[in-house]
Amino acid sequence: MNKRKKKVIGTTLVLVSPYKEVDPLKQAKKEKRRTIIRLILIYAFLSIAGLVCVFPFYYMVAASGMTQDEITSGKMVPDLLSFFDNLATNYYETFTRLNYMSHVGSTLLIAFTITIFQVLTTILAAFAFARLEFKGRDVLFIAFLATMMVPGELLAITNYTTLSNMGLTGLNQNAFQAFLAVVLPLIASTFYIYLLRQNFKQIPNELYLAAKMDGTSDWKYLWKVMVPIAMPTLITITILSIIGQWNNYVWPSLVVYNDDYTMISVIIRKGYLSLQGQDGAPVLQYAWQMASAVLTVVPLLILFIIFRKYIMKGTSRAGIKG
């Protein structure tokens, strides 16, 4: 009832307004001024938020060219005269103390191994789910999707025990065992299988039937027709997988016992970048730490700039199903 009344008032207002003497020019001017104020507010808000967003990146680079004293005195802009000298020494110390290149090497080895096997197994599984008919296909696919709801920590608890029972973890673990312990549990990915299956499903079924008529085998059809068509998705999966491994912290920090074999994200937070203080306790060298952060983040930013299109596509596609 009440609602009705309001509506009536609303319509009368619209009817009355033309009779009100308003100068259309004045009205337009007012409108324009309002738009300009609105735009100024929007740009101001975005600029401030953007600054907050970018500040940690700026500070990371700036601080990697400072001295310990400059950082602990809260300096925001490095001294330009000594910046490049500091930069050189800080990065030199970080490279040698962390043994940076060797950890990049093992990280890349793990990342590429996981990615290659992940892409291969994903292609095979996605093809089976998208094109082949078999008993229990839908039930199995739903079971696969359901595992995405289970937190990884629940799996990690048993996997940690399994790997140690397999003899892959422990204090006298060698490089190959450490490698296997990290790689094995991370190969199968239900999310990528889901992503690729959706893509495979979009390829018209007629193509498949026509190929069958011509006597093309499933295997040949998969590699000669489907994989090339789905290449953009496969590139997205590859990039996301490599980035994921570069950032992998939890699993290697659990199953790799020897710091020499561990991955980049783990080693930068280990306290190797400290000097003996006056009382004998280690003092973290902030500038070196910032240099190590730059060395970890910059490769990612480069990847992001080159493959922006693919990364954004992959991440936003995940959202569309919602």
Partner 1 sequence: MDTNKNNYKAWLYLAPVLVLMAVFTFFPIINTIVVSFLKDYNATTGAHSGFTFYNYAYILGFAERYEGSGVYNRIFFSFEGPSAFWNTMFITFVTVPISVIIALLISICIHNIKPLQKFFQTIFFMPYVTNVIAIGMVFSIIFSSTGVFNQILRLNVNWIGETSATWLSCMTVLCIYIIWTALPYKILIFLAGLQGIDQQYFDAARIDGASKAKANVRIVLPLLSPQILYISVTSFISAFKEYGAIVGLLNRSDSSVAVAGTHDLYTIVYYIYDMMKSGNWAVSSQFASAAAVILLIVILLFTLVELRVSKKMVVY
Query: Between 100-131 and 231-246, two packed helices, what is the crossing angle to 10 degrees?
Result: 140
Task: Judge contact between 287 and 66, C-beta under 8 A.
Answer: yes
Does residue 184 interact with partner 1 by CB under 8 A?
A: yes
Is 279 among the residues that bind partner 1 (CB under 8 A)? Answer: no
Q: Give the 3-state DSSP-derived string for 119-143, with helices as H, strands as E and coil as C.
A: HHHHHHHHHHHHHCCCCCHHHHHHH
Of 215 and 322, CB closest to partner 1: 322
Q: How far apart are CA 283 and CA 277, in angstroms?
A: 6
Task: Write down the least CB distance from residue 187 to partner 1, Å.
Answer: 6
* x-marked contacts with partner 1 along 212-231 as a string, rule CB under 8 A: ------x-------------
| 199 near partner 1, rule: CB under 8 A | no
**Closest approach of Cβ 301 to partner 1, in Å?**
7
Interface residue with partner 1, options 176, 209, 249, 258 (CB under 8 A): 249
- Contact with partner 1 (CB under 8 A) among 28, 145, 155, 306: 155
Q: DSSP string covering 232-258, please?
A: HHHHHHHHHHHHHHHT--HHHHHH--S
Tell which one of 46, 88, 145, 231 touches partner 1 (CB under 8 A). 46
Q: Does the protein bind partner 1 through residue 320 (CB under 8 A)?
A: yes
Distance CA 294, CA 16 (A): 64
Closest CB 71 distance from partner 1, rounded Å:
7
Size of the site for partner 1 (CB under 8 A): 94
Does position 167 interact with partner 1 (CB under 8 A)? The reply is no
Regarding 243 and contact with partner 1 (CB under 8 A), the answer is: yes
Binding test (CB under 8 A) with partner 1, winner from 1, 8, 9, 14:
14
59-118 residues in contact with partner 1 (CB under 8 A) are: 59-60, 63, 71-76
Q: Roughly how many angstroms between the first and final C-alpha of the chain, as a whole number?
A: 37
Name the strand (E) or helix (H) holding 276: strand 274-276
The span from the CA of 258 to the CA of 186, in Å, is: 20
Task: Decide: is 162 part of the binding site for partner 1 (CB under 8 A).
Answer: yes
| 283 to 302: interface string for partner 1, x by CB under 8 A | ---x--xx-xx--xx--xx-
Among 21, 23, 138, 153, binds partner 1 (CB under 8 A): 153
Q: Which residues are registered as beta bridge partners of 283? A: 275
Length of the chain: 322
Q: Taking each helix axis as running N to C, give the angle between helix 231-246 and helix 190-202, from 0 to 180 degrees, rounded to the nearest 10.
A: 170
Out of 113, 164, 198, 216, name the contact with partner 1 by CB under 8 A. Answer: 164
Q: What is the smallest separation between the CB atom of 152 and partner 1, expressed in angstroms?
A: 8
With 0-12 / 13-18 / 19 or more C-beta atoms within 10 angstroms meaning exposed / middle / buried, residue 205 is exposed
